[in-house]
Amino acid sequence: MPIHIAEATRKALCHALGVSRLIEVMEHDFQDISPDADVDRNKAALYADRNRGSVRLNSGRYYTAGEYAAHVRKVKSLELP
């Protein structure tokens, strides 16, 4: 199903993204999400009031990739009874 965007919106998006056509966005190489390119908590907190998504993300209750790896190591090192 095609998405219809008003011409003014299309122009504004192209200008903001720095592309001449929106199809170029799909061909663009985006940054991978990995422990090397981890979440910036300060930036996430800065945009939290604009996000209408997860309450956990908005309130900062999430693990970054590095924190999650440390948590997994800690849990795996626990000695079970």
User: Does residue 9 carry a pLDDT above 90?
Assistant: no
Under the banding of pLDDT at 50, 70 and 90, the label for residue 33 is low
Q: What's the pLDDT tens digit per position in 37-47?
A: 666 777 777 77
Judging by beta carbons within 10 Å of its beta carbon (0-12, 13-18, 19+), is residue 15 exposed, middle or buried? Answer: exposed
CA distance 2 to 11: 18
